[in-house]
Structure formats: C-alpha cells, structure tokens
Amino acid sequence: MEYKYYISSHNGIETLYRIKEGRIGDSAGTLESFQSGGWSNDLNSIKSFMNKYAAGWLDENDAMDYSIAIGALRKKIDEARSFAAEKHGNQKYGKFPYEVHLINVINVLISNGILPDTEINIDLWSSAWLHDVLEDTDTARDEIIDRFGINIFEIVWSLTDGKGENRKEKKQAMYERLILNQNAIIIKLADRIANLQFSIINNNQEKIKLYADENEDLNRYLANRITERKGLALLDYLNGLIDKMKL
C-alpha cells in the first residue's frame, strides 16, 4: 500500500501522519497518526490534522516520502539530547561529564544496528538520551509528556528505579514495570551493556562485580518476556560479556 506522509503538530508535539495516495479530502478515512509506538486512527489527532488542512495550514504540497519524513522527525533526538544535557547539568559519570554515559548508550544501539531510520527507533534514541532524567534529576512527568509525548515518557518511566529500602529492592520494583514495555527493555539492556563496557575499560572491578551479580536477577525478570529481536540480541550480548568476566 502506498502512503503519503505529513508532519504536523498535535498537542505541541511534531507528529507523523500517513494517508493513502490521493487528495487529503478524498482519503481522510485512511488518515493515521504515529502514536505510542504504532499507527493509530485516534480521533483527536486526526481532527487536529484536518483542522489545519481546512484552515489552509497544510495541503497536498506538504506531502513527503517516508525517508524525508523520518529525516524531519530526527530533530526529536537532538531535542532529547539538549534536554538531557540541561537537566543533568554538572552531574558526573565517574570523572567524566554525565553525557559520556548517554553517548555510550547510543553507541550500543548503533553497534547493534538500531539506527534512527524508523519511527520506533527515533523514539528509542530519544529515550536513550532521556533514560535517567526522572531518576537522577528534578524532571517532572509532565515535562517529558509535553515535550516528547506519552510513548517516550512511558519508556523513561519504565527505566526509573522504584521505591525500596536498598538498591536491590529499587531495581526489582523497576523490573516489574520494565517487563511491560518492550522498548524500555531495549534501552535498559543497552544501558547495562554501556555501564559494563565502561567498567571493563576502566578496570572498575567493584562495578563489574555489581553488574555480574545483578545479571541473574535481570535475566530472571526478562525470561520469556522479550518479544523483539533487538531485545533478544542485546540480552545475548550482555550475557556474553558477563560470561567473559567470569572466566
């Protein structure tokens, strides 16, 4: 099926729309928006688009092919990086600026073929930049929703430690949410791989032991829960690193 793609603001967020080939007025019944990780015919979003069309703010001349639309959406990633840099401020990752860790997580995605070339992967990259802002900064829930949408908020929230008396309890509370969000699982695994690789490079034996000890718990929660090939590949990679450290 051939589609035309449009980008239009909905609730202040740049949103990707698609419609079957043809004029908007003739094909409005096929109009969909990309929300919460999938294509939707949500009436509020469609009404927002059609109101702009009726008012002359967009028309068929604004249509673009998929690759151009994805390219335009990538600015969300830059916005997420800037937002994270501002929120983390002067926080450190060891002796380095905190952004070093976020870059390392992005590099794990790249090395595993997760590139910003689809709607889902753009959300993954954005979430990778933002994954610690709820846990480690004063960022509020609504700030993320208003700037990046509910899908990215849910990923970041699923990666945020829960309540508990110690690290183990906080991680377990987080795992209970994590297993309900496939995209969050992908970012969690990339995060753990990045942390472990950094610890290996810097010969931080304390951190290496910590991540190795926690890996059994992580695997127990993720057992039979991962449905995405990206997630399965990342888990295999993480477990391979852990096994090497045990030799």
Q: How far is CA 23 from the centre of its chain?
A: 33
Give the residue from 101, 150, 142 showing the smallest Cα distance to 123: 150
Active-site pick, 14, 136, 143, 161: 136
Residue of 14, 79, 135, 214 marked active site: 135
Contact criterion met (CB below 8 Å) for 203 and 212: no
Task: Verify whether residue 135 is a known catalytic residue.
Answer: yes
Give helix 99-111 / helix 182-201 axis angle, nearest 10°. 110
Give the list of residues 6+ apart from residue 216 with CB closer than 8 angstroms, or none: none
**How far is residue 154's CA from residue 164's CA, in Å, rounded to a whole number?**
20
Active site residue 2: no
Task: Tell me the C-alpha distance between 164 and 186, whole Å.
Answer: 24
The residues annotated with a catalytic role in the active site are 135-136
